Structure 1
Amino acid sequence: MESSGARRGRRRRPSRRRPLLHTALAVVAVTGVTAEGTVYVKARAHAGAAAVSSAATPAASLSAAASEEATVTKAAVDRDALLSEAMATVSVPSGAEVSAAVLAVGSGESAGYGEAAFDTASIVKVDILAALLLQAQDAGRQLTATEQAYATKMIENSDNASATQLWHTIGRADGLDAANKRLGLTSTSGGDGELWGLTQTTAADQLVLLRQVFGDDESQLSAASRAYVQGLMGSVETDQRWGVSAAGDAGSWALKNGWLARSTTNLWDVNSIGRVTVDGTGYLVAVLSKGTGTQAEGIALVEAAAKAAVSAFTGE
């Protein structure tokens, strides 16, 4: 540590240098990561802080000296590591794949597992509706009665014919891709032609979409548009209330699921995205899967992964 300059007394006593004591702390080193995913960092006195006068009281001097010499340990949680540990406990059927992403609404902390692209199946219907609402906002208009009817059936009942109608309204893949560029989805590509269900996406991108739908004023969607999508996702028909809802408290969900049997392999894509609440804390959760032998097997995988994702924050 640097010393202050010497100061001479009136009787010309020999000069001597007195160290200045500093109070500011700065992080200087990362010292380790525990198995629980906690990163430990050390902090010590920073040389750029204000000096403590040599005329300070003994108690103040001792306190300052203690703060200078003490090493302070702070903890930051590695959520990605915790999520990886939690996902390691999920039983994934042979040949299947799963990816998950989660965000704690209050703190803004997030975690992701897996970077692969998956078919959206019907979860793309939320994206289609977001694109439609953006286009309506740009035009300064409300959705027409017909568009609202299609949107309701598309989200609440997962009606494919309604989705196809709105897919055409937004301009199919080009319209979806243009909207996603504004929404911040960087790894999602609209399906070819009429195949909106084969839109490719990642769990991380679906988390971005959920933040647009359930976020605040920073969203590209207006407050009215967000409330509209949230209301529909909170009213899906009874037999479609599986998926990420398994990770939250009863009745706390707003979601959209997707399921698709691929004709080329006879294997299933099963996905779920939405918002859940656990003990008063909201979480945005996206889980994508492919390669399960049955829809039921895919649902079980998605629900187990959703619970694991949330446990990275709750520890349960």
Structure 2
Amino acid sequence: MEPSRASSRARRRRVPSLYLALAAVTVVGGTAAGTVYVQERDAPLASVSSSSSPVVVAASEEASVEPVTLPTVDPEERLAEAMESVRVADGARVSVAVLDVGSGASAAYGEASFVTASIVKVDVLAALLLRAQDEGRALTSAEKAYATAMIERSDNDSASALWETVGRAEGLAAANERLGLTDTEGGDGMLWGLTRTTAADQLRLLGQAFGAESELSAASRAYLQGLMGKVVEDQRWGVSTVADGSACALKNGWLPRSTTGLWVINSVGRVTVDGREFLVAALSDGNATKEDGVALVEAAAKAAVSVFARE
């Protein structure tokens, strides 16, 4: 059916006069406030000045262009895709979590709980530093000696001494409540190496150790970071292999389980890649050999950092 002449005229009247004016002008500039500067073309309409001076037409909603929103990709989806290329042997498990310090974006792969082995030593030192802060004192010379050996050389006797000082599992739990760790449970008695944790919880601990918003004071954070930056050379594997040169601070853990002979291999720390800082926690178990586990956590750490480093 043909539309009536009246309705056609009505539609023509609804065309904004601004469109007719802009049809005869050329955009030549603009301002931050949104004003558009235009200049006449040949044969201007009556509504546009015929002088050679630029005229100003205020931009309106009718003349605006809607911004295009590009689809975003979930970092955890990216990480899951990146982990597809990581070879995990039959019977082994791996979990990894990463934080891009600059943007604050993070991602985690896997939610399982793992035995900590020696990475718990970072948590023990954090608990010790909190205790000293509460008591308004610096670490004693003996505590400093134990802390240095425990972190830099992964000395187990020193870890046992400080585990006792912080109150074993109960004391660690009290510290972790303040530090925001929700899925870490201390080992029974003196078995600090059998503490259980998740990659996400270890990322939270790293955030407390390296972030500005922390229960740990600036002096405590600097002390802990300094020790993690001086780990002996033969223990600088794991997340450190992702970093540029020696730009990393880390703590590794390794433990053959007596019941199975399979290895727990873990690595946590801060790395710098192309000038960008990342916090990474990679946990694994069920590894046939120590070397297999080291290769697994290194591959997981590399995959995790690639999620953000490629942006």
TM-score (normalised: structure 2): 0.81
The answer for the alignment partner of 2:297 in structure 1 is 302
Matches within 5 A, 1:128-143: 128-143=124-139
Superposition deviation, residue 77 in structure 1: 3.4
Find the aligned partners of 1:299 and 1:312 in 2 and give their Cα distance.
21
Q: Deviations over 1:272-297 (max 9, x none)?
A: 00000011100000000000000011
Alignment counterpart, residue 149 of structure 1, candidates 145, 148, 155: 145
The answer for the alignment partner of 2:50 in structure 1 is none
Q: Deviations over 1:78-127 (max 9, x none)?
A: 11011101111000111100000000111101010000000000000000
Superposition deviation, residue 70 in structure 1: 2.6
Identity value in percent: 67
The answer for the alignment partner of 1:311 in structure 2 is 306
Find the aligned partners of 2:62 and 2:191 in 1 and give their Cα distance.
69
Alignment counterpart, residue 60 of structure 1, candidates 51, 55, 58: 58
- Tell me the C-alpha RMSD between the 2 structures: 1.9
Q: Deviations over 1:219-273 (max 9, x none)?
A: 0000000000000000011100000011111111100000000001110000000
Query: 1:259 and 2:254 equivalent?
Result: yes
Superposition deviation, residue 58 in structure 1: 8.2
Query: Paired residues, what number?
Result: 262
Q: Deviations over 1:12-65 (max 9, x none)?
A: xxxx9999xxxxxxxxxxxxxxxxxxxxxxxxxxxxxxxxxxxxx98434x521
Q: Which structure has the bigger radius of gyration? A: 2
Superposition deviation, residue 71 in structure 1: 5.2
2:61 maps to a residue whose letter is A
Alignment counterpart, residue 169 of structure 1, candidates 165, 168, 172: 165
Alignment counterpart, residue 197 of structure 2, candidates 191, 194, 201: 201
Q: Can you give the 5+ residue segments of structure 1 that lack an aligned partner in the other structure?
A: 1-15, 20-56
Q: Deviations over 1:168-192 (max 9, x none)?
A: 0000000000000000000001111
Query: 1:127 and 2:123 equivalent?
Result: yes
Matches within 5 A, 1:103-118: 103-118=99-114
The answer for the alignment partner of 2:229 in structure 1 is 234
The answer for the alignment partner of 1:181 in structure 2 is 177
Find the aligned partners of 1:301 and 1:66 in 2 and give their Cα distance.
56
Find the aligned partners of 1:157 and 1:90 in 2 and give their Cα distance.
29
Aligned with 2:69: secondary structure? Answer: strand
Alignment counterpart, residue 281 of structure 1, candidates 264, 276, 285: 276
TM-score (normalised: structure 1): 0.80
The answer for the alignment partner of 2:81 in structure 1 is 85
